[in-house]
Structure formats: structure tokens, C-alpha cells
Amino acid sequence: MVFHSLSSILRLLCLGFAAFAQAQTLFTTDSVVSDSAGASFDLTNNAMEMLIITSWKFLVATTSADATVELYYKSGTQAGSISDETVWTKLGETVPLPEVGMSEIDVGDSAMIGVGETTGFFIYSDGGTISYGGPEITTVTSDDSLVTFDAGSAFTALYPQLSTEIFTPRGVSMEITYTEETDSPTMQPTAAPSVVPELFCTGDIRIINIARFIICSVLNWFFSDDEE
């Protein structure tokens, strides 16, 4: 019975570790040189599992009562695609834009980046601005090396003016929180404990089959008669 209890505990621990993946963060820069209405960037998944971005924070420079902010994404790098509105999908938006400072942008949905893949993003605020670093902020890799940030561009307006107001490279000031998507391990059947044959059978007969019980009973009866 002790063996089976220990096996159950190990199974629960195994499932627990799989269910709660540790959250990690990537921070780009607080070396701010200016701000703009929008900025683009790439995120690359270096992990062995899919990465799920669960939280976005951007360094808000200016805001207003009715300011909004939107976050877009596309498969592959954002480079060369900033002015092509047909390749972008809106991930979500926040109304109004949060207060000045490093503020969480609640876009509603989590972003997922496949193994070895790069996803391009851009953030744009109508009525506010987002801080960014200078040309020296180009590539930042997270402490756990699972995700890499590559700077894109800063721009002051959306389509159709966007194509004439792009400044590259610019590294947006941001912090993301992410986890690895880990599946629960495949549970294998627990091997039965080895049983050493015994002359006189004792223990809990609930865990033995009927045939063994009968044999043990006969043996006990036989040797009991010999002692008499």
C-alpha cells in the first residue's frame, strides 16, 4: 500500500509542474530619446516550445482622456511591411491609453509565437505617444534566452501618411511577460511491485487475486495439520 501511495504522490507532482509554467519577462530599454504615436518590432522564439505572451507593458510618454492604443501583428518580420496595411491583424486595443510611465496595455488576447518563428508587431496610439530608444537599441535577448527582441521603426501617423513618416531603427521601450506552452507528460502505467513468494501468506487479501488466496489458504491449512 505504501508503494501505491508514493506512486500517486509522484504523479500529482509531475502534473503540477507541467500545469504551472514559470513566467519570464523581457525588458528592452529605459534609455529614452524620444516618443512617437507608433513603433514596430520583432519577437523571435528561441525556445523548444511555443511561447505565449500574457502581458504587455509600454513606456507611455503622453496621454489624454480619450487616447486609445492598438497592437497589431503579422507572421514574419515587420521590416518592409510597415506601410502595407493588408498584412497586419489587430491583436487588441485599450481605451483609454493608460497613465504616463511603464503601463500595462490590456489587449484582451495573448500572442503566441511558434518554435523558431519570428512575429512582427506594431503599437499605435491615437491621442498619446510611446517612448523609444535611439539607434543603439537594436537587439535584446531575454535573461533566459528564450525570446529575442529586434528593433523596428517609429512613426507618427497611420495609413496613408505612414509611408512618409518612418524612422529606423528605433527600439520601443517595453516589457513583456511570457511562458512556454508545456503539455502534461504522457503518463505511463505504474509497474507492479515484485512479489517474493511466501510460505505463509499474510497481508491485505484485497490486493491479491482469488487464485492466490485459495493457494495460500491450502498451504496454511496443510502446514497447520503437520504441526498438530
Which of 129-138, 152-161, 212-221 tops mean pLDDT?
A: 129-138
How does 17-53 read in b/e, with b if 16+ C-beta sit within 10 Å? eeeeeeebebebbeeebebbbbbbbbbbbebeeebbb
Q: Is 11 left (phi over 0), alpha (psi -120 to 50) or beta?
A: alpha
Q: Is 99 left (phi over 0), alpha (psi -120 to 50) or beta?
A: beta
> In this structure, are residues 58 and 105 in contact, taking their beta carbons and an 8 Å threshold?
yes
For residue 139, give the amino acid letter. T
Average of per-residue pLDDT across 27-55: 93
Nearest alpha carbon to residue 218 among 205, 196, 201 = 201
Average of per-residue pLDDT across 156-183: 81
Average of per-residue pLDDT across 147-154: 95
Stronger pLDDT, 141 or 224, i.e. the higher one:
141
Q: What is the pLDDT of residue 145?
A: 95
Query: Residue 119's Cα: distance from chain center in Å?
Result: 15
Task: Work out the mean pLDDT of the chain and round it to a whole number.
Answer: 76
User: What's the rounded Cα separation, in Å, for the pair 157 and 164?
Assistant: 9
Please say if the pLDDT value at position 6 is more than 60. no
Q: How confident is the model at residue 214 (pLDDT cuts 50, 70, 90)?
A: low
Average of per-residue pLDDT across 53-72: 92
Nearest alpha carbon to residue 55 among 35, 76, 27 = 27
- Residue 24 vs residues 27, 95, 99, 200, 201: alpha-carbon distances, Å: 10, 27, 24, 59, 56
Q: What is the pLDDT of residue 87?
A: 92
Q: What is the pLDDT of residue 97?
A: 85
